[in-house]
Chains A and B, each alone.
Chain A
């Protein structure tokens, strides 16, 4: 069992000691959700939700075989944070992971942080408060460990060096990369996704607060709109280029492909067996040259993407979910052009690789020239970055015609440990 949606109940009312953000789900909604969980077990609320108005009351279980926030139907909002560990103490690091686990379990259930412990009127409240009264809003918190947690500048900081997964290295330089160190890498990462931005921000804020003295935020990114659907129950959203993105995304229902391309297998890396059932999180902050893109003819836009803008159908014809015919010829070469994004990202051009992407549109206002500082905060979960991410990105960076309008400005790779069982803390097997 993984991250089944759990219907919030009325227990808050009979548990008056706990500060709670719980809200009733409608009876019909709760029943439908439970039914969906029983069928698929992947936390997919099959068609129970209006795509554009996600149910804020929806909640996902924190505990499970895999961490939530990977195959969970992509929520609308993101607050992603990368942390540097500031302590040398392994015990302090473990204590933080315990505290984060406890807080994460509470927050994803719609409860306030530290609500089990009463605080003095003369103390600051345990929870920062801005999410009081709000429902869980589908909050998921997904934790990852960066390469530098295992070894930094040649130093085995926490006795973890020998347990670093082989695939967990800083991503290579890709053509056209213009990475800002202040927006890249980090010892730990937390991906907070929710259907209410206030809930996502609340989660990162409280985790950062708990971490003071042990970790410090290195960088963070807000995402305001999902650009991927990770379930068939969801419509394909649009990215800031104005096109549907992630039509061919790997989805929660495709369990066999998830095993092949997302979840780290038991024998993938015997030296790092703690990661089995986990995954790797690739994050890339991809700025778009919005203004020049907007001046580009529809002909060129569609040729670069390889899909029609109106419906997302491949240029070889059909509708959005029609498989592109990469061989179909037009009057001057294939209808899906050789340097189009759809072609270059297609599994047949990438050794059969499929990817589970979970990206978000972002904007951080405007730059000093008045141009939108905006783009795609790309997030993908892969089983083996060296096979399932790096080759594809090299190909896209080198050949994708869209690169004319893109610039990668941030990057990071983290190992995402498997899900947490009740009583455990996140990543516990690594420290065992």
Chain B
């Protein structure tokens, strides 16, 4: 229902696994090292203000003084394995790269023009003396997280296709009671993987657009059109006829099949998991808490729960990495997921939830506060696991 954020789109296409530089922990107990290392990337040189650094968290401040787009890489001693990188620095711009490094020898490189091996140099990292419980997060852990997430998305897409098939069958046959009961449960599978679904910019508006988000002259299709037809407003609404129902139902199902096909080959990196988790909580904060998402059916709490499920799944897959990188943050997020879930559980009714129009303003405020309490630390997760 929303417009695809750029970062998510780029990340889906562009960021290789290695870019995440999940190699070492930086849980030092002392202060940060002395200021950032300034890197001046010109057409012909790559000058570092210091070629020595203390172990732990190191910040490079890369200034592009050349006339071409530049990149900066920090490689392991072999000059191949990427420890950290920052791309797409326009001429004249400055960008920071934060990485955690263990004592050892590293290779730095500026790549003006984004080409070739770049202008290389050496960086020596000495033991900073700060406690630096450096532990490797091995490639296997990373791959397990991202591959498990791909499996999760596929499972949810399977369930979405199945649920949607049943839902549209009931809707087409005029069994409105059944369609109304299937609507929120089928949609939960969409809501769990919403950032992935939204990344398909052509499908999302056809499937999940709300009436208020229509452009003038734009044709409205998808879930929320059917929602309105199943929970019609008291006045001024003309119900869809059988033929119209068949058309819109068929359209939703066809788009669901396309989505299902596309996710079969989709791959992810840790930033997808981190950002996706954060975006799901944004969805809750802006659409579900206010009751705007399911304005006719008031099934917002199903979506709410599904968004939380999706966010928590991604978090739990990243948890082993986060536990190494930033244990306090990991614990805090974990606790706050629990707190939010306890609150949400109070609204369970039968197999599902109470209608959102019965949730009072005070209760909505309480839910909102719990979402904020979770979303704030959750927003720091991507940065923590990639630093």
User: B-contacting residues of A (Cβ < 8 Å)?
Assistant: 172-178, 289, 291-292, 295-297, 299-300, 303-304, 308, 310, 313-319, 322, 328-333, 335, 337-340, 368-371, 394, 397-401, 403-404
B188 within 8 A of A: no
A178 touching B90, Cβ below 8 Å? no
B382 within 8 A of A: yes
B10 touching A313, Cβ below 8 Å? no
**Cα of A173 to Cα of B215 in the assembled complex, Å:** 7
B14 within 8 A of A: yes
| Chain B 190-217 interface residues, beta-carbon cutoff 8 Å to A | 212-216
B216: chain A residues within 8 A (beta carbon): 172-174, 394
Q: Given contacts A177-B212, A368-B365, are A331 and B6 in contact (CB under 8 A)?
A: no
**Cα of A368 to Cα of B282 in the assembled complex, Å:** 18
| Nearest CB of chain B from residue A103's CB, rounded to whole Å | 40
A316: chain B residues within 8 A (beta carbon): 90-91
B5 touching A317, Cβ below 8 Å? no
Most buried by B among A172, A289, A296, A319: A296
B290: chain A residues within 8 A (beta carbon): 369
**Cα of A332 to Cα of B271 in the assembled complex, Å:** 16
Q: Given contacts A315-B93, A330-B88, are A399 and B114 in contact (CB under 8 A)?
A: no
B94 within 8 A of A: yes
A178: chain B residues within 8 A (beta carbon): 212
A404 touching B88, Cβ below 8 Å? no
Interface of B, helix, strand, loop or mixed by DSSP: helix
B6: chain A residues within 8 A (beta carbon): 300, 303-304, 337-340, 401
Interface of A, helix, strand, loop or mixed by DSSP: loop
Partner of B92, one of A175, A318, A404: A318
| Nearest CB of chain A from residue B63's CB, rounded to whole Å | 11
A310 touching B94, Cβ below 8 Å? yes
B93 touching A308, Cβ below 8 Å? yes
Closest to B7 in A: A300
11 additional contacts, CB 8 Å, given A292-B285, A313-B93, A369-B364?
A: A297-B383, A300-B7, A314-B90, A315-B88, A330-B114, A335-B88, A335-B90, A368-B365, A370-B372, A394-B216, A398-B215
| Nearest CB of chain B from residue A97's CB, rounded to whole Å | 34
Question: Can you spell out 26 A-B residue pairs with CB atoms less than 8 angstroms apart?
Answer: A292-B285, A292-B286, A292-B375, A295-B282, A295-B378, A296-B379, A299-B7, A304-B5, A316-B90, A316-B91, A322-B92, A330-B69, A331-B87, A332-B14, A332-B88, A337-B6, A337-B10, A368-B364, A368-B365, A369-B364, A369-B365, A399-B3, A401-B4, A403-B3, A404-B2, A404-B3
A403: chain B residues within 8 A (beta carbon): 3
Closest to A292 in B: B282
B361 within 8 A of A: yes
Partner of B90, one of A173, A328, A400: A328
A401 touching B5, Cβ below 8 Å? yes
Q: Given contacts A292-B282, A331-B114, A332-B14, are A397 and B215 in contact (CB under 8 A)?
A: yes
Closest to A371 in B: B368
B218 within 8 A of A: yes
Closest to A401 in B: B6
B114: chain A residues within 8 A (beta carbon): 330-331
A172: chain B residues within 8 A (beta carbon): 216
| Nearest CB of chain B from residue A165's CB, rounded to whole Å | 21
**Cα of A297 to Cα of B278 in the assembled complex, Å:** 10
Closest to A407 in B: B286
| Nearest CB of chain A from residue B178's CB, rounded to whole Å | 32
**Cα of A335 to Cα of B91 in the assembled complex, Å:** 11
B289 touching A369, Cβ below 8 Å? yes
